[in-house]
């Protein structure tokens, strides 16, 4: 399975999310913007849940390119210590067990879980459960 | 310096009006404002018009009259109305003109806004993956806020319950039937912790405000409402805004709202405790809660007690969203910010009927917020 966009994940296994370092200020951002002021910066894998919600309806297309079939998912903001807070999916957790501060680990998730050739989007799993 | 005055206010009812274009809802509001001030369209020297999805505002000259009037279109997201009003008052303050118009209207299709990443300088994958959704941001922002400041979900429900209850008495509101608290709390979930009753819907409507110099208002024999401050600000560093793929570590506290609010209070020379009635952006119930603090009306976390004690009710210490706000009126982007100012004009005139704030309020505050981190504030005085 391939990432939804180039330059989003590192090619190592397991992959990391690619952010960027702003050369003049050292600020870490995500995603990596175009331009010479930014250099790609692979982000840490482990972080803590900073905030979240549950997406309960299928987003409109365009721009959403996911499957017609819809199951609610967790939208998470994850704090990667000393770097940046990133927005991503959070899989592998009961909605009732979601807790700000819980430890999570980067693991890209398929945009269409039922398709063999689905693209992968930024995602996390509870720490210890990532492959 | 003399004040800029509001001498006429008009509104086309918000909600859904099949068969009437957004532009014609704007025209309806302009005619109402003119009639109120006893003026004709040819008396209007300039106009600023805001619309996000219902066409170019300046095309309304075809309906109102080809007087050659200077008419400038404003497209500034959720701050469109506020930006139109800011620009109009500047034109009068400068001495260039003495009678002008700020108008806003819109007509959105049903369902959530479908914004495209390229319009917000974001990569396409962000939308393709299902992140380009305003409700996700609003829900994630309140989830964090509730965690940090001890706000309960019941308090979110109380905000929505108040909105629908106030709107019963607002003829321009869309959803004018009270909804019981348990129905609000148990409603279909949209983005946790919000049920469908806790989010406003994109809608339709039009609002027009006629402005004049103090001298001109006196000449016309109109008791004016004074526009003491109008500000618009964009986001500061480390803020957490709509369509944010990231937040800086330690961020999420500074907001465009805090900047616009502080600037407005400084301009008006008064503080939050001097405000008698406030219309605060409530695209969802938690926004009203967070904006109470961001605009300086209470400390973070105090909202839990304020709502429990009814301090933001019509007869409370600081009545908030007296016409039901966005939750009950819906959100036609170009008109929404001006609707708040319209409601404040009604309140300052003592013309609110069943939703009138008691004790003849003298000061009124309005605040809008929207993507990608813009905010506009006004302070009115009579």
Cβ–Cβ pairs < 8 A, chains A and B = 114
What's phi and psi for A62, nearest 5 deg? -70, 165
CATH of region B4-108+200-381, choose from 3.90.25.10, 3.40.47.10, 3.10.310.10, 3.90.420.10 = 3.40.47.10
- What confidence score (pLDDT) does residue A130 get? 53
pTM for the structure as a whole = 0.95
Query: Tokens at residue B75, please?
Result: 């497209």
Say if CB B206 and CB B28 are below 8 A apart.
yes
Say if CB B323 and CB B355 are below 8 A apart.
yes
Chain A positions in Cβ-Cβ contact with residue B127 (cut-off 8 Å): 62-64
What pLDDT, in 10s, does the model give residues B57-76?
999 999 999 999 999 999 98
The set of residues, in sequence order, having a beta carbon less than 8 Å from that of B97 and lying 6+ positions away, is B45, B46, B91
- What confidence score (pLDDT) does residue B120 get? 87
- What confidence score (pLDDT) does residue B372 get? 81
Q: Where are the domains of chain B?
A: 4-108+200-381
The answer to whether residue B143 neighbours chain A at the CB level (below 8 Å) is yes
Determine whether the interchain pair B112/A60 forms a contact, defined as Cβ–Cβ distance below 8 Å.
Answer: yes
Task: Taking residues B98-113, report their average pLDDT.
Answer: 90
Maximal C-alpha separation, chain A: 45
Determine whether the interchain pair B249/A81 forms a contact, defined as Cβ–Cβ distance below 8 Å.
Answer: yes
Closest CA–CA distance from residue A21 to any residue of chain B (Å): 12
Chain B positions in Cβ-Cβ contact with residue A89 (cut-off 8 Å): 129
The CA angle A38-A39-A44, to the nearest 5 degrees, is 115
Whether residue A131 has pLDDT greater than 90: no
Chain B positions in Cβ-Cβ contact with residue A121 (cut-off 8 Å): 125, 129
The answer to whether residue A1 neighbours chain B at the CB level (below 8 Å) is no
Determine whether the interchain pair B136/A83 forms a contact, defined as Cβ–Cβ distance below 8 Å.
Answer: no
Among A39, A50, A127, A55, CA closest to A84: A50
Q: How high is the mean pLDDT of chain A?
A: 95
Q: Residue B370 — very low, low, confident or very high, per pLDDT cuts 50/70/90?
A: confident
What pLDDT, in 10s, does the model give residues B334-356?
999 999 999 999 999 999 999 99
Helix (H, G, I), strand (E, B) or coil at A116: coil
The answer to whether residue B110 neighbours chain A at the CB level (below 8 Å) is no
Closest CA–CA distance from residue A8 to any residue of chain B (Å): 10
Helix (H, G, I), strand (E, B) or coil at B288: helix
Closest CA–CA distance from residue A100 to any residue of chain B (Å): 8
How much is the ipTM here? 0.96
As to burial, measured by CB atoms within 10 angstroms (0-12 exposed, 13-18 middle, 19+ buried), residue B68 is exposed
Q: Where are the domains of chain A?
A: 44-126
| Domain A44-126 falls under CATH 2.40.50 | yes
Q: Residue B240 — very low, low, confident or very high, per pLDDT cuts 50/70/90?
A: very high
What pLDDT, in 10s, does the model give residues B275-333?
999 999 999 999 999 999 999 999 999 999 999 999 999 999 999 999 999 999 999 99
Closest CA–CA distance from residue A122 to any residue of chain B (Å): 9
Task: Taking residues A63-91, report their average pLDDT.
Answer: 97
What pLDDT, in 10s, does the model give residues B110-160?
876 778 898 888 999 999 999 999 899 999 999 999 999 999 999 999 999
The answer to whether residue A82 neighbours chain B at the CB level (below 8 Å) is yes
């Amino acid at each position: 399975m391939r990432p939804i966009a180039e330059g989003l994940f590192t090619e190592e296994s397991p992959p990391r999310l690619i952010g960027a370092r702003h050369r003049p200020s050292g600020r870490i951002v995500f995603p990596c913007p175009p331009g010479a002021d930014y250099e790609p910066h692979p982000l840490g894998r482990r972080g803590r849940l900073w905030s979240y919600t549950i997406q309960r309806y299928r987003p409109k297309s365009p721009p959403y390119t996911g499957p017609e079939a819809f199951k609610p998912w967790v939208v998470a903001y994850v704090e990667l210590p000393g770097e940046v807070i990133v927005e991503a999916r959070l899989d592998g957790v009961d909605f009732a067990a979601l807790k700000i501060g819980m430890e999570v680990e980067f693991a890209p998730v398929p945009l269409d879980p039922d398709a063999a050739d689905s693209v992968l989007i930024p995602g996390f799993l509870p720490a210890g459960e990532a492959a | 310096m003399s004040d800029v005055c509001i001498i006429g206010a008009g509104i086309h009812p918000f909600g859904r009006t099949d068969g009437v274009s957004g532009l014609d809802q704007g025209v309806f509001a302009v005619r109402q404002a003119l009639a109120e001030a006893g003026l004709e369209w040819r008396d209007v020297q300039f106009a600023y018009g805001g619309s996000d999805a219902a066409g170019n505002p300046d095309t309304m000259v075809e309906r109102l009259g080809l007087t050659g009037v200077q008419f400038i279109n404003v497209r500034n997201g959720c701050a469109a109305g506020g930006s139109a009003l800011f620009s109009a008052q500047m034109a009068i303050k400068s001495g260039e003109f003495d009678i002008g118009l700020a108008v806003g209207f819109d007509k959105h299709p049903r369902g959530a806004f479908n914004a495209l990443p390229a319009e917000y300088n974001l990569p396409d994958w962000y939308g393709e993956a299902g992140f380009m959704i305003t409700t996700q941001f609003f829900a994630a922002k309140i989830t964090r806020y509730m965690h940090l400041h001890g706000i309960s979900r019941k308090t979110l429900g109380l905000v929505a319950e108040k909105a629908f209850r106030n709107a019963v008495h607002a003829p321009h509101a869309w959803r004018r039937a009270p909804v019981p608290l348990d129905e609000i709390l148990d409603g279909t979930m949209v983005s946790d912790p919000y049920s469908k009753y806790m989010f406003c819907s994109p809608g339709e409507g039009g609002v027009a405000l006629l402005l004049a110099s103090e001298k001109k208002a006196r000449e016309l024999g109109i008791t004016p409402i004074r526009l003491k401050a109008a500000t618009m600000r964009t986001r500061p560093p480390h803020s957490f805004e709509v369509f944010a793929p990231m937040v800086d570590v330690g961020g999420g506290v500074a907001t465009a709202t805090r900047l616009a609010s502080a600037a407005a209070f400084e301009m008006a020379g008064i503080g939050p405790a001097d405000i008698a009635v406030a219309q605060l952006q409530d695209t969802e119930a938690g926004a009203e809660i967070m904006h109470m603090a961001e605009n300086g009306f209470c400390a973070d976390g105090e909202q839990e007690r304020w709502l429990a004690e009814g301090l933001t009710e019509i007869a409370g210490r600081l009545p908030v969203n007296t016409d039901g706000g966005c939750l009950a009126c819906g959100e036609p982007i170009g008109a929404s910010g001006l609707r708040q100012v319209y409601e404040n004009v009604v309140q300052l005139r003592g013309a609110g009927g069943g939703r009138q704030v008691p004790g003849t309020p003298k000061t009124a505050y309005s605040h809008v917020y929207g993507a990608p981190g813009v905010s506009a504030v006004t302070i009115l005085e009579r």
